[in-house]
Amino acid sequence: MLGYIHSTESFGTVDGPGIRFVIFMQGCPMRCLYCHNPDTWEYGKGQRRTADSLLEEYDSCREFVKGGITCTGGEPLMQMDFVTELFEKAKRRGIHTCLDTSGCTFDPDNAALLEKFRRLTECTDLVMLDIKHIDSERHRKLTGRGNENILRFAEFLRDRHTELWVRHVVVPGYTDDKRSLHDLGYFLGGLTNLKALDVLPYHTLGAPKYKSLGLDYPLEGVPPLEKEQAVRAKDIIMDGIRDRLRKKN
């Protein structure tokens, strides 16, 4: 099986625990306004690689890459069969596997697809799930898609006992209001598999890529978020988590 790969990184420090070998998959169906990898959107481009060739590349730097392998994107679930093959082979070698995803392709009403997700979770040690917005309509305005199945994917992972880290980007004027942050936390409080929460400040580092690709940057004029504001946002999310846990108890 061949996968479409945008690029690889042999010293990833923000894509899961430890220092990791990071595989950027090509293709993504979402169009997040703050996406910093627009060059990964188009499917069918990039390097055509086998799982074995990627594992050979991992082996070449394994002495320094102690954390394992992370598949990110783009959206790696666009090539779920390939990722599953890669992770199954990695697990047979004792390599920690991490999937960095938006969960946007999940469909609990599609039995055949659901079985593929079950197989993938059996060889996935950690899922890093990007929840862009807790409100579905505002999620649609931000990404082009609603979030109903994304939230159901988080619950699916809970029921599968798959370790989960959640990432949330705080964008001024889009995802920084207290109600949305608290509601996100309240939802997260129901996920017993949640092991970590990363609340990330919006930045404009991806803007030059849009210019190089001849694209308009959707959030032109929106200032980067100060780190202190991200800390305050995380505090509000944590309040929501605590409220959910208090209600449960």
Is residue 149 pLDDT above 80, yes or no? yes
Average pLDDT, the chain: 96
Domain contains 163: yes
Classify residue 12: in a domain, yes or no.
yes
Residue 205 has what pLDDT? Answer: 87
67 in any annotated domain: yes
Q: 105 is in which domain, residue-wise?
A: 2-177+192-222
> Model-level pTM?
0.95
Q: Identify whether the C-beta of residue 216 lies closer than 8 Å to the C-beta of residue 208.
A: no
SS3 60: helix
Q: Across residues 43-67, what is the average pLDDT?
A: 94
pLDDT in tens, 234-249: 999 999 999 999 987 7
In a 13 Å sphere around the CA of 192, the CA atoms on its Cβ side amount to 6
**117: domain CATH number?**
3.20.20.70
* Structural domains counted in the chain: 1
For residue 93, being part of any structural domain is answered with yes
Residue whose pair of structure tokens reads 């790969």 in the numeric block = 5
The residues that bridge with 22 in the sheet, in sequence order, are 9, 70
| Pairwise CA distance, residues 71 & 117, whole Å | 15
Q: What is the pLDDT confidence band of residue 65, given thresholds at 50, 70 and 90?
A: confident
Helix ranges restricted to H, the chain: 51-60, 80-92, 111-122, 136-143, 148-159, 178-188, 207-212, 227-248
Residue 66 lies in a domain: yes
Query: Is residue 207 in a domain?
Result: yes
Asked, for residue 57, whether it belongs to a domain, the answer is yes
149 falls within a domain: yes
